[in-house]
Chain A
Amino acid sequence: MTKMIGKSVKRVEDKRFITGKGQYTDDIILPNMTYAQFVRSPYAHAKVLGVDTSEALAHPGVVAVYTGADFAEINGVPCGWQVDFKNGDTMKEPKHPLIVVDKARHAGDAVAIVIAESREAARDAADLVDVDYEELEAVVDPKKAAEEGAPLVHDDVPNNICFDWELGNPKEEVDAAIAAASHVTTLEFANQRVAPNAIEPRSYIGDYDSTNDKYTLYTSTQNPHLIRLLMCAFVLGIPEHKVRIVSKDVGGGFGSKIFHYTEEALVTYISKQLGRPVKWTAERSEAFLTDAHGRDHVSKAEMGFDAEGKITGLRIKTYASMGGYLSTFAPAVPTYLHGTLLQGVYTTPKIHIDVVATFTHTSAVDAYRGAGRPEATYLLERLMDTAALEMEMDPAELRFKNFIPAFNGIDEPGYATNVALQYDSGNYAPVLERALEMTGYKDFRKEQAEARANGKLLGIGFSTYIEACGIAPSAVVGALGARAGLFEVSQVRVHPTGKVSVFTGAHSHGQGHETTFAQVVADKFGIPMEDVDIVHGDSDTVAFGMGTYGSRSLAVGGSALVKSIEKIIDKGTKIAAHKLEAAEEDLEFAEGKWTVKGTDKSIGFADISLTAYVPHDYPAGLEPGLDFSSFYDPANFTYPFGAHIAIVEVDKDTGKVSLKRFIAVDDVGNVINPMIVDGQIHGGVVQGIGQALLEHAFYDEDGQLVTGSYMDYAMPRADDVPMIETDRTTTPCPHNPLGVKGAGEAGAIGSTPAVVNAVMDALAPYGIKNLSMPLTSESVWRAMKG
C-alpha cells in the first residue's frame, strides 16, 4: 500500500462544504426555537442608572427580556490563566458579568437580552428597551491607562493595572550589556489592535431538555470540552455530565473562538428558564464589538550590538491591553507567549522584558493567530532590519552572524534560552539561505539601485522567526499560571469489520483533521483511508479534549492518536500470536497484517478485529474488543521556525504600498499533508500582511470602535496580495512520535515584520525608519511629505 503520510491527499471534508451541506451552528433550526437579541451599550464607559423593559416586553412576539439584575447571583465568566504581580500580589481579576449591572465597560457591553419568537421581533423589541446611561470618561490606550488619574475601568483596580511581570536575565546585567554596546538600536511602537474576523460570526443555540434534565449547547467554538468545563463548573454551576457541547462545522477561528463567551452561558441558562431553545448569532458589527481582539501592545525595544554586529543585549518594556474584562487566556498572551520568545533564533546573551497589563475601555484582548509570538517576532525582526540599516550592514548577513548554531535535539541537546524555554531542535541558517535563493537576492540590490535611479521605491524586508507551538506540557503551563492542563485525548475504535472511528479532542475549524488524522491512521494500520472516520466537536461522543489553538492539533492531538494506535497494534499482536500459534516476538505488523517473521504465515487487520469482537478462539485472560483511548501530555513545546522575505514597491505620489512578492520558507518539522500545510502558511501570511498594511481595530479617545464594520475595517482582499511563494526545510521534532511541530500560526508570525521592513527599506532614501502599522497610503504619504 502506498504511504499516505507525506502525500497531498485531497481533503475528505471538502465534499460537504463545496456542495453547501456543511452544518454551521446558524444553519440549525430547532423546533420551537426562540431568538436572542442584545441591547448593547453605545458608550465605552457609562453608569447604567436604569433599564426599562416594559415596552419591549409588550412588543408582539417577545417572550422575555432579561437585564443584569436577573443574573446577579450567577458567577461571571472566569479567566483561565493567572499571572501575578512581580511583588507576589495576586492578579486583579474583576468579575465579568453575563450582563452588566452597574457599569458598561466597553462599547458593546451587554445591558439587556431580548428573547422573541423571531429574529425580527427580537430586533425590534431590543430597540424599545430604554436604558438610562450616565456617560463617563474612557481610556483606550494600554499605556495611558496606567498613568495617574486615568479613568478606572474597575473601581477596585488601581491605575488599571491587572498585573506587572518580568522575565529574563537580571535587569542590571541587561542594562550593563546595553550600556556597553558599541551600537544600540531603539524602536518605540505599537503593535496595533486587530480583529480576528473569522468569516462565520459567533453563533450559539442553548437547548434544555427537561425530560432528561440535559442541556445541549450548539456553539461555534474551537474548544468544546473546555467551554463545557468553564461554563458548568465556574459560571452556571450545572453538572458537567448533564451538558452536551456540539461544534461540528465552525467557520474559522484564529483564536477568537477559543474562549468562553458570556453569550454561550446566557443561551444555555435561558433555554432552561423558558423551556425552549434559544439561538443567538452575532451580526458582524456586533462581532467587532464583542469578539476578543488581538495584539494591542505599546513597546519600547532596545538592542545592543558589538562592533562586529553580534547582539549583546535586548531590553523590552511592553504595555499590553487586556480590554475591559479578562478573557480566557488573556494574561498568558503578553507574558508566557511573548516574553518567552524574545530569544528568537539569535544567541543574544542578555535579555530582559518588563510587561504591564492594563484594563482599557475596549473589547477584551486575547489570543489571535500567533498570540504573543507575532508581537515578539515583530519586536525582534524590526530591530534587526533597523539595526542593519543603522550599522550599514546587510540584514541577511546580520542574521547569519547571530543565528543559534544547528542542533537536532537528539544527540545534540536542546537550546536553553535566557527566557525560560528549551528549544527542541533547530537549524536556522538553511531557511534563510533558501529564501534568499528563491528571492534572487544577489541581483535584488542591483535592481533596487536601478529602480531608485529611475525614481521607483523598491524595498526588501526580512524576518527570521521562531515560535513555540504544540501547546503544551501541562506541568509547565501549570507552573506558569494556566488553570487547565494542556494535554490532548484520542480514542481509536476498531469496529469488528476492521473499519475505524477516531474520536479526537482536537477541533477542526478549517485545518482538515478529517484528512490528516485519517492519513496517519491509514498508514499506521495499513488500511485504506476510506475505512477511517474522524469524529470531533461533540462532547457526547468525544470523551475529552483541549481543543485546537497554538498550532497544537497534530503535535499534541496527533501524538495522542499515535498512542492509541500503538495500543491497538499491541493488543492485535497478542491476538495474532494466539491465532498464528507463534510467539509475540516472532510477529511483525506491516501493511495491514501480522506475519510470522521469515514465513508466509500471516493474518490480516480485519480478521484480528473480528476475532477481538467474536472471541471464541482467543488468548486466555485478554479482554475482548479493540478500542483504546489515550491522553498525551507532551514533554515540551515544539519550535517551528522560518524565514520570510517581502518585496514591495511604494508609489511616490500616493504612498500606496504594493506587495510585489512574498517568499516564505518554513520548517514545521515533519509534514503529513504538504497541501494542507501550504494552505495554512498562505492564510497565515496573508493575515500577517493584513496587519502590516491594512488592519486596525481603532478606538477613538471616547472608546468608540471607529473601524467596527467591514466597510471601515480593511482586511486583505484577493487583489491586495500576490501568490505566496513557499518552500520548506525539515527539522523533525525530537520529542513527539510524528516528529511534527505545527503549522497553523507560522505564516502570521513571520510575515508582518517582513512586510514592514520592506516598506522601511523602500523608504530609506527619505530617512524614514519607523512608521506605525498599518502602513496605509495615507500614513506613508504623510511620512514622505515630512
Chain B
Amino acid sequence: MKKQINLTVNGKAYSHEVEARLLLVHYLRDELRLTGTHVGCDTSSCGSCTILMDGLAVKCCTLLAVQADGANITTIEGLADNDSLHPLQEGFREEHGLQCGFCTPGMIMTAADLLSTNSDPSEQEIRHALEGNFCRCTGYHNIVKSIQYAANKINNKEVAS
C-alpha cells in the first residue's frame, strides 16, 4: 500500500509516494540519498539514526516515513549552511570527538537537541543526554568535551584549546 507524504528536509520540500511500511531512515537514506544518517541496530538502542524532527531529536529507525508527513526534518547534512560548520561539528573536530565517524551524526544531532534546551550543560547532563547513543570508539571522553566546546562557543565563552 502506497501513501503520499509531503515533508521538508533540510529546508527543501519533498513529496513522494511511499510504501506504508517504509522506515523513515530508509526513506532518507535510499530515496533522498542523505546517507549521513546511519543504521547501527534494530532495537532503537544505538542512536546512529538520530535526526531532528520538528526540532526534537528522534531515532528515525523507529519511525515510518508516513509518520513524517508534514514534518520539518533536519539531518546532519542540513545542520549548517553550505561550507560552514555548526559549533557542534566544529567541536567534534577540535576535540577529536570522533574516530570511525559512524556514530557521529547521531551524536551531533542528539547534542543539538540538548543544547537547544540547555545551552550550558554540566558534564553529567551531557552524559545523561547521550544515554541513547552508542559510541564504540571514543569512550565518550572527547565527545563530552566536543559538546562542551560547542556550548562554550554558542555562549561566547572563552574556548580552551
Which residues of A are at the interface with B, using a C-beta cutoff of 8 A?
10-11, 13-24, 26-27, 29, 119-120, 197-201, 249-252, 254, 281, 283-285, 509-512, 675-676, 678-680, 682-687, 709-711, 715-719, 721, 723-724, 747
**What residues of chain A lie closer than 8 Å to B35, measured between beta carbons?**
20, 23-24, 26-27
Number of A-B contacts (CB under 8 A): 182
- Is the CB–CB distance between B46 and A710 below 8 Å? yes
**What residues of chain A lie closer than 8 Å to B154, measured between beta carbons?**
none
**What residues of chain B lie closer than 8 Å to A249, measured between beta carbons?**
100-101
- Is the CB–CB distance between B102 and A199 below 8 Å? yes
Most chain A Cβ neighbours within 10 Å, of B77, B92, B134, B144: B134
- Is the CB–CB distance between A250 and B42 below 8 Å? no
- Is the CB–CB distance between A675 and B134 below 8 Å? no
In-complex Cβ contact of A27 among B29, B48, B124 (8 A): B29
Q: A14-B93, A20-B76, A710-B46 are in contact. List 19 more A-B contacts (CB 8 A).
A: A18-B76, A19-B80, A20-B77, A24-B102, A199-B102, A199-B134, A200-B102, A251-B102, A284-B42, A285-B42, A675-B96, A682-B142, A686-B141, A687-B139, A710-B45, A717-B130, A718-B128, A718-B131, A721-B140
**What residues of chain A lie closer than 8 Å to B75, measured between beta carbons?**
20
In-complex Cβ contact of B40 among A17, A201, A254, A724 (8 A): A201
**What residues of chain B lie closer than 8 Å to A675, measured between beta carbons?**
96
Q: How many residues of B contact A (CB 8 A)?
A: 57
- B 127-161 contacts with A by CB, 8 A: 127-128, 130-131, 133-144
Shortest CB distance A137–B (Å): 30
In-complex Cβ contact of A252 among B102, B123, B127, B140 (8 A): B102
In-complex Cβ contact of B127 among A15, A17, A24, A719 (8 A): A719
In the assembled complex, B39 has its CB within 8 A of some CB on chain A: yes
Which residues of B are at the interface with A, using a C-beta cutoff of 8 A?
19, 21, 26, 29-30, 33-43, 45-46, 48, 75-77, 80, 85, 89, 92-94, 96, 98-105, 108, 123-124, 126-128, 130-131, 133-144
- Is the CB–CB distance between A22 and B134 below 8 Å? no
- Beta-carbon nearest neighbor of B19 in chain A: A120
- Is the CB–CB distance between A718 and B127 below 8 Å? yes
- Is the CB–CB distance between B43 and A20 below 8 Å? no
In-complex Cβ contact of B93 among A15, A26, A119 (8 A): A15
- Beta-carbon nearest neighbor of A15 in chain B: B93
Assuming the contacts A18-B85, A717-B134, asked whether A711 and B98 have C-beta atoms less than 8 A apart, the reply is no
A-B contact pairs, 11 of them (CB 8 A): A14-B92, A17-B104, A20-B77, A26-B39, A199-B102, A199-B137, A254-B136, A512-B99, A683-B138, A718-B128, A721-B140
CA distance A555 to B62 in the complex (A): 43
- Is the CB–CB distance between A11 and B93 below 8 Å? yes
In-complex Cβ contact of B144 among A26, A678, A723 (8 A): A723
**What residues of chain B lie closer than 8 Å to A684, measured between beta carbons?**
139
- Beta-carbon nearest neighbor of B89 in chain A: A18
- Is the CB–CB distance between A251 and B38 below 8 Å? yes
- Is the CB–CB distance between A718 and B140 below 8 Å? yes
- Beta-carbon nearest neighbor of B29 in chain A: A27
CA distance A452 to B85 in the complex (A): 50
Across the A-B interface, the 6 shortest Cβ-Cβ residue pairs: A20-B36, A17-B101, A251-B102, A686-B139, A510-B100, A710-B45
In-complex Cβ contact of A19 among B77, B123, B144 (8 A): B77
- Is the CB–CB distance between B40 and A199 below 8 Å? yes
Most chain B Cβ neighbours within 10 Å, of A15, A201, A249, A680: A201
**What residues of chain B lie closer than 8 Å to A254, measured between beta carbons?**
136
**What residues of chain A lie closer than 8 Å to B85, measured between beta carbons?**
18-19
Shortest CB distance B56–A (Å): 19
**What residues of chain B lie closer than 8 Å to A13, measured between beta carbons?**
101
CA distance A15 to B89 in the complex (A): 9
- Is the CB–CB distance between B42 and A679 below 8 Å? no
**What residues of chain B lie closer than 8 Å to A119, measured between beta carbons?**
26
CA distance A17 to B106 in the complex (A): 11
- Is the CB–CB distance between A199 and B136 below 8 Å? yes
CA distance A721 to B38 in the complex (A): 25
- Is the CB–CB distance between A679 and B45 below 8 Å? no
- Is the CB–CB distance between B134 and A715 below 8 Å? yes
- Is the CB–CB distance between A18 and B102 below 8 Å? no
**What residues of chain A lie closer than 8 Å to B135, measured between beta carbons?**
199, 718
- Is the CB–CB distance between A17 and B98 below 8 Å? yes
Most chain B Cβ neighbours within 10 Å, of A512, A683, A716, A747: A683
